[in-house]
Chains A and B, each alone.
Chain A
Amino acid sequence: MPPVAFFILSCLLFSLGGLAFIIKRDLITQFMAIEIMLNAANLALIAAAKFSGTLDAQIIVFFVITVAAAEAAVGLAIILLIYRQKKNIRSEEVNLLKG
């Protein structure tokens, strides 16, 4: 199994996640797209750990997963707040800062 295959998969996943983030308009799905992009980065890091034969990249992945969990908790709380104020979760309608 050549290492490049894993990196290519990581690139494809990252791009698909980014595409989903751009063309989706509901906050929950956009949030899921962010998680997918984080996971693609994790995949590249783990492939790099195997590639270099050291463990440091796996430790970084460990921290990334922790930060993603914390981010999910706070982000979903914010989405709940937005829903209570606007009664929907479309990201187009969160435009208070738009001039």
Chain B
Amino acid sequence: MAIFLFFLLAALSLAAVAGMIFSRHQAYNALLLAVSFTALGGIFALLDAPFIAAVQIIIYAGAIMVLFIFVIMMINLREPMPPLKKKWVYGLGAILIMVILVELFLVLRSIPGKNFAATAALGSVRSLGQMLFTRYLYPFEITSILIVAAIVGSLYLARRKEKD
């Protein structure tokens, strides 16, 4: 069952990203991105990380997608993007990505084990929260400063000038 679910979700997320490469409408791309994020959330749940899976779906497939949709709505491009004029960019991109893929697979060969460590309830909210508020307390608090800075920065950047 887990294997079936894994292949289903993996195929779904890969297909969504591949569709993003071929589609030229930003709104379709945002939809495909949401599909991919949700499928990845399912895979996170398969990997004993229920809290991260929930956060993935709430923040990525929820909040960040709403941001994207809002910006697409505000920009309101009438026609899709024209196809790329410089065709050599496709070839260059394919070659670069093949090199990266080969490198990643070479690194993967050095992973020793064949099985996961057998631990019960690894990513429960309780253990995650305990760690977050003891060992990782300072990074956690610094994150709040980061978010405040992001809010202030985006408000400042996106404001309308008084003259307009």
Contacts and interface: CB of A to CB of B under 8 A. Distances in A.
Nearest to A83: B75
Given A7-B108, A81-B157, A76 B150 contact: no
- 10 closest A-B pairs by CB: A53-B117, A70-B150, A22-B93, A77-B157, A77-B154, A11-B104, A77-B158, A73-B154, A53-B119, A16-B17
Interface residues of A, number: 68
Contact of A36 (B17, B123, B154): B17
Interface in B18-36: 18, 20-21, 26, 29-30, 33, 36
Interface of A: 1-9, 11-20, 22-26, 28-29, 31-33, 35-36, 39, 42-43, 46-47, 49-53, 55-56, 58-59, 61-63, 65-74, 76-81, 83, 88-90
Specify the main secondary structure of chain B where it touches its partner.
helix
Interface residues of B, number: 80
A49 B115 contact: no
Nearest to B90: A23
Interface of B: 2-3, 6, 10, 13-14, 17-18, 20-21, 26, 29-30, 33, 36-37, 40, 43-44, 46-49, 51-52, 55-56, 59-60, 63-64, 67-68, 70-72, 74-75, 77, 81, 84, 89-90, 92-94, 96-97, 100-101, 104-105, 108, 111, 113-119, 122-123, 127-128, 131-132, 136, 139, 143, 146-147, 149-151, 153-155, 157-158
